[in-house]
A and B are shown apart, each in its own frame.
Chain A
Amino acid sequence: MTDRKLSYGHAFREAVFQEMSANPDVFVAGEDVGAFGGVFHTFDGLQKEFGEDRVVDTPISEQAIIGLGLGAAVSGLRPIVDLMFMDFICVAMDQIVNQVAKIKYMFGGAATVPLTITTTGGAGVSASAQHSQSLEAILCHIPGLKVVYPSNAYDMKGLMTACIREDNPTVMVKHKRLFGSSTLVPEEPYTVPLGKAATVRAGTDVTVVTYGRMVTEALSAADTLAAEGIECEVIDPRTLQPFDIDTVVESVRRTNRVVIVHEAVRFGGLGAEIAAQIQEIAFDYLDAPIGRVAAPFSPVPYSPVLEQLYIPDSQRIADGIRETVARPLLGI
């Protein structure tokens, strides 16, 4: 089998298709996932292939969708349950936070939860405040959950396959503006290990940590800055919980400067945690305060003009990196 160009959305679908083919315990449930194929077409054709018993159209009932997945998972199945938009996790927060994440621990380890929750986050399509959020930090704050956020089609297929095979509850966050983006993707099933970052660009002057769609923007910023003589090392953690801090710190020890970029709001975003860990582990290696480029502390606006101001882009990322790199060393 060979590699071929595949889109982010199709890579997701292929992972689900292959795992469903390989394992009869894998099934899909969610709103519009069956006959309609999912609102982003990520489940296209699966019901036709696997039948209504394995690709289940559910009522618009987010709590019951998660409960369906949890009850089936502790009963030995390997469910994939879809929450159409990431914003909808809020509707199901009790089931996700109080039930799914904690059942194993509360039961003294006796329960196993091989559950994958899939959802779609991110702004950029004028979907406004309730269909555009980046709420990954909330999920990463909950012990018991694992959270992945692929930035490209290759990682999408590998991470989704890993999530389905994982014996812990995972949340797979897709970015709604990445569905059309393509990379080379192997035809055969493969996994990208959970908790392992990727260095997507090597550099010597500054470490840029980012994930999801912001990886594309950060790489574009890195190209711009390379022309100015600034070499960025861009690290995509791929899995947000557990977080691969080792790869980040190893890079920081060489570059001595860090900028963290995310589409989520700055306050209490993952950047805060990543920055805290870096300074705890590698304070003496830092030549400048850790920079952050993130969304402002507001809901996501509807207006395309305002939304463009809201979402970090390559230019703002480049500005943030320039600022961090320009900071002089003092008192030495």
Chain B
Amino acid sequence: MPTFVYMTRCDGCGHCVDICPSDIMHIDKVTRRAYNIEPNMCWECYSCVKACPHQAIDVRGYADFAPLGHSVRVKRDEEKGVIAWRIKFRNGKKDMDLLAPITTKPWGTCIPQLGDASAPTQEQRDSQLLFNEPKYIRMDEGDIHTLESNGLTMKEGVYY
């Protein structure tokens, strides 16, 4: 769904320009407000809609198959860790509120700095293990799966 920007809400802050994965939210030089410069390269990903601090950006379904008169609005809150959606049908018969978590931890606090982790040993370097393994990759306390440990061989050809 191509995005569009409400004239009275946009203040030209550029958050949408900064986040758009498709580089299609630009600031209009005359109005000094954002707009979608290339609707046919818009994936309706809502990244700009979520990033806008003034709820100035909305979506109108693609003209070639979506009739007018619908609405899918969103508010994403990183501090509360939730996203709230509201879907309204064209015929007014359905009006849904949907809420979902976006994170279970305070933002960005639970990712370790691997530069400070104890340095890998030569043995680890020569092994097939990645950081933090074999944690999580086995049910038992065993090492990483190999062809040998799992009783397998690689055989060339059609049959298996």
* A and B part of one assembly: no
Question: Which A residues are closer than 8 A to B by beta carbons?
Answer: none
